[in-house]
Amino acid sequence: MKSKTNKTLQMIFKIATALLITSASTLVVAKDILVKPGQLIQDSVRLAEPGDRILVEPGVYHESIYIDKSKITLKGLQVNGEYAIIDGKNKLNDGIITSGHFSVIEGFKVRGYKGNAIMTQGANNFKILNNVVEGAFYGIFPQYGKNGLLKGNTISGAEDAGIYVGMSDNIDVVENVAFENVMGLEFENCRKALMADNNVYNNSTGIALTLIPGLPVKDAKDLIIRDNIIRDNNHANFAPSSSIAAQIPQGVGILIVGPDNVTIENNVIEDNHAAGVSVFDMLTFGLARDAQVDPFSDNIWIMKNQWKNNGNKPVGLFAEFLGPIGSGFELVATGKEKGSCVLKQDNVDTIGTRRWGECDASQSKANYATAMLAEPVKSEEYSAEQKGRLTYLAVCTGCHAYNTVLHGPSITSIKAIYANKPEALASYVSEPIRKRHDFPEMPPQSYLGDETLAAISTYILNDL
């Protein structure tokens, strides 16, 4: 009898304890963490718990920031027009990288990074708001994400795309300004995405909608481009010749290569010297290496837009290509697109549209407010293994190729040197020292944290 009473009491105690723990955990209050000039933002990220806001005071911060926790808001405070500036000093590769779901990156000026200024990698339900990005290879680069919003950002000087959304679904890119980039805005291998109310000017190509072969996502579709100003995108292409962006033509308002189901409606498209809109297939573009990808763009609907003065002064490829045929084309297509149409408007000259139909203005497909989901997409925390792969892709491949020297030594040589020694590799990566005079100095990667560095090292040595 006594024994039975004891057991009952123990059980009640256990339940009560469990309830207490549960209550306590739900009672954890999200907090604000203030970062002042002279402090490291990354230190606050380490302290932060899901739900916390990290508020960064105006000042200049020289670091790379990595977030791998969910529900972290990283916000730059503005005081009297002064920004919290994240500055890579043209030495660091990455400004802010997050793989945390529900991340919010807001209000920073990010400049002087050699790779990504702001990147999300595998993060869902993210928001990137009201940042100013200057320089970098990719300006703002969400990749492998679902349900994201990029709003109110200003991006210039990107050697690839100012805003570059890669392999992501249900994304809104709205009210941003992109100028003096090689591409202003880009959707690459994205499904269900919206660009609206953006101002895109003086880039080499204003907006690029692409389907790139050789990536894990093999299609791109359901893209709406509406209510944007796409003007004077005639900047010389300044992408390094080694990058794929070097192939981007100068003078194109909207370039479409590969995606299906694209609607272009109610945009101002003017003064783009090569063409207002140009539609190519991947064979024509020279990107046909991946046979799993359908190279042809279908169902391109060019609805009513405000067109003016496009295609009148083609340079480079468009000049050489279209030279014998003429100029002044608002729309240039290859003629292989199926199910495509263009709305009849005065003074809209087209070429390559012999098999296109005429759009019906009443059948607009651009009449939804957002491509985002009504409810957040369900997202689980990433395992160490996943973090290793995600971070390898986001960070390491910026400088290291698999089987050849790129900016740093090849992965195959690293594997040989550190075989069966992941701790040694992680330790080196954290605080590298210059071992070979013939390679550039590697920036320290300690900001990634021990767990992620261990995961990357294991991935490189065991799985690559």
Please give the residues from 154 up to 213 whose contact with other proteins meets the rule CB under 8 A.
Answer: 157, 159, 166, 180, 212-213
Query: How many Å apart are CA 270 and CA 279, to the nearest integer?
Result: 17
Side-chain half-sphere exposure of 170, counting CA atoms within 13 A: 15
Question: Least distance from C-beta 161 to other proteins, angstroms?
Answer: 12
408 HSE (CA, 13 A, CB side)? 19
92 binds other proteins (CB under 8 A): no
Q: Is residue 30 within 8 Å of 48, Cβ to Cβ? A: no
Closest distance to other proteins from the beta carbon of 24 (Å): 32
Residues 8 to 67 in contact with other proteins, rule: CB under 8 A: none
Cα separation, 462 vs 457, in Å, equals 8
Quote the least distance from Cβ 111 to other proteins, whole Å: 10
Encoded one letter per residue, x for contact with other proteins by CB under 8 A and - for no contact, window 239-278 reads xxxxxx-xxxxx----x-x--------------------x
Question: In terms of CB distance, is 55 or 217 closer to other proteins?
Answer: 217
Q: Which is nearer to other proteins, 13 or 439 (CB)?
A: 439
Q: Are 103 and 126 in contact (CB under 8 A)?
A: yes
Partners of 167 in the β-ladder: none
CB of 464 to other proteins, least distance (A): 8
C-beta separation of 418 from 118 below 8 A:
no
**Closest CB to other proteins among residues 16, 288:** 288
CB closer to other proteins out of 177 and 238: 238
By CB under 8 A, tell whether 116 contacts other proteins: yes
Residue 379 makes contact with other proteins by CB under 8 A: no
Number of residues that bind other proteins (CB under 8 A): 97
With tokens 């920004």, the residue in question is: 83
Among 259, 295, 314, 449, binds other proteins (CB under 8 A): 295
Smallest distance, other proteins to C-beta of residue 37, A? 24
Cβ proximity to other proteins, 176 vs 278, nearer residue: 278
CA distance 333 to 147: 31
Count Cβ atoms within 10 A of the Cβ of residue 271 and give its class: 0-12 exposed, 13-18 middle, 19 or more buried: buried
Is the CB of 47 or the CB of 236 nearer to other proteins? 236
What is the sign, positive or negative, of the torsion defined by CA atoms of 239, 245, 250, 253?
negative
Residues 333-372 that bind other proteins (CB under 8 A): 333-336, 338, 351-352, 354-355
* Contacts to other proteins from residues 382-421, by CB under 8 A: 382, 385-386, 389-390, 392-394, 397-399, 401-407, 411
The pattern of x and - marking residues 303 through 322 that bind other proteins according to CB under 8 A reads -------------xx--xxx
Collect all residues with Cβ–Cβ distance below 8 Å to 187 and sequence separation of at least 6. Answer: 165, 171, 173, 193, 195, 208, 209, 210, 220, 223, 259
DSSP structure class, residue 79: B
Least distance (Å) from other proteins to the CB of residue 3? 51
Q: Which of 159, 163, 98, 153 is nearest to 124 (CA)?
A: 98
Among 202, 290, 343, 373, binds other proteins (CB under 8 A): 290
